[in-house]
């Protein structure tokens, strides 16, 4: 028993130590390599996650901004009309009996009428500034007279607070020689309209409701002035929508 025990113990002891040492070296070596291997995979993964989160956040932000922007435009409009503030009375000038327009546009408007006259075309002003109170009267009284619901009426008249006429920068124009076409689509067949179509832009006037509009009916008689920064600011949302910005 003793004889066999001692050599066995002698034999096993160094062997055990050697085994442990080797095992320890192997263990350390493999741990180190695991660590580096992990590092090789982890660093690009972390970089990828950071970049992904960064771009995702930016993308989401711009996406949200687009949504907010669109919603803002959508929410601000009522039945296809943008909201407009009523200009103050001191900004208005009378250009013909009971027709007031913004002081920033009246010179341009009168020049346009005079130049048309030189070409043998007679423009007549039908409606300029309208207070929100008057617009309210027009919108609601005509709506009930014609038995129209708001959505139908809004195709031909803006709800109060949503009319370009309240800014003082809108003007309804007729042909003095064809008064039966006042406020009618047939106005487009008159010399006055043909002249305006060709020349109004020179005086900074633009047709507000052309045939491309789908929520508001075509109004060949309704023009708005865009010849000043103030006017451009007022009509910015409408122009942006048309430009699809």
Which sequence positions are flagged as catalytic? Answer: 219
Q: Pairing mode, if any, of strands 99-102 and 123-127? A: unpaired
Taking the CA atoms of 51, 54, 57 and 63 in sequence, report the sign of the dihedral they define.
negative
**Which residues, 6 or more positions from 92, have their beta carbon under 8 angstroms from its beta carbon?**
100, 101, 102, 103, 129, 168
Q: Which stretch binds Zn ion (CB under 5 A): 17-25, 116-124, 139-147, 168-176?
A: 168-176
Question: Does 81 contact Zn ion by CB under 5 A?
Answer: no
Least Å distance, CB 80 to Zn ion, is 14
CB of 223 to Zn ion, least distance (A): 8
If the CB atoms of residues 37 and 179 are measured against Zn ion, the closer one turns out to be 179
How many of the chain's residues bind Zn ion (CB under 5 A)? 2
Q: Taking the chain, what is the end-to-end CA distance rounded to the nearest angstrom?
A: 99
Per CB under 5 A, the list member of 130, 143, 153, 222 interacting with Zn ion is: 222
- Which region among 72-80, 117-125, 148-156, 165-173 touches Zn ion (by CB under 5 A)? 165-173
Q: Assess 172 for contact with Zn ion (CB under 5 A).
A: yes
Q: Where are the alpha helices (DSSP H) in the chain?
A: 2-76, 106-118, 132-145, 150-153, 191-199, 229-234, 236-243
- Which CB, 86 or 172, lies closer to Zn ion? 172
Q: Which stretch in 3-11, 51-59, 106-114, 216-224 sits in contact with Zn ion by CB under 5 A?
A: 216-224
* Most distant pair of Cα atoms in the chain: their distance: 139
Residues that bind Zn ion (CB under 5 A): 172, 222
């Amino acid at each position: 028993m003793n004889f066999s025990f001692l050599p066995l113990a002698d034999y096993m002891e160094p062997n055990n130590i050697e085994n442990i040492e080797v095992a320890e070296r192997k263990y350390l070596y493999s741990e180190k390599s695991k660590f580096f291997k992990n590092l090789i995979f982890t660093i690009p993964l972390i970089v990828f996650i950071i970049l992904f989160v960064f771009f995702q956040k930016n993308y989401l932000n711009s996406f949200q901004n687009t949504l907010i922007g669109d919603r803002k435009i959508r929410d601000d409009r009522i039945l296809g009309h943008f909201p407009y503030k009523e200009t103050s009375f001191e900004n208005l000038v009378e250009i013909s009996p009971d027709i007031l327009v913004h002081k920033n546009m009246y010179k341009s408007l009168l020049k346009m009428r005079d130049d048309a006259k030189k070409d043998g075309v007679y423009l007549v002003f039908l409606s300029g500034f309208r207070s929100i109170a008057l617009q309210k009267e027009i919108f609601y009284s005509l709506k009930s007279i014609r038995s129209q619901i708001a959505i139908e009426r809004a195709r031909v008249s803006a709800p109060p607070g949503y009319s370009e006429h309240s800014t003082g920068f809108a003007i309804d124009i007729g042909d003095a020689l064809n008064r039966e076409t006042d406020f009618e689509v047939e106005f487009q067949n008159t010399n006055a309209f043909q002249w305006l179509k060709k020349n109004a832009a020179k005086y900074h006037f633009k047709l507000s409701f052309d045939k491309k509009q789908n929520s508001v009916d075509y109004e060949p008689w309704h023009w708005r002035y865009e010849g000043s920064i103030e006017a451009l600011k007022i009509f910015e949302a409408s122009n942006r929508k048309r430009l699809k910005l």
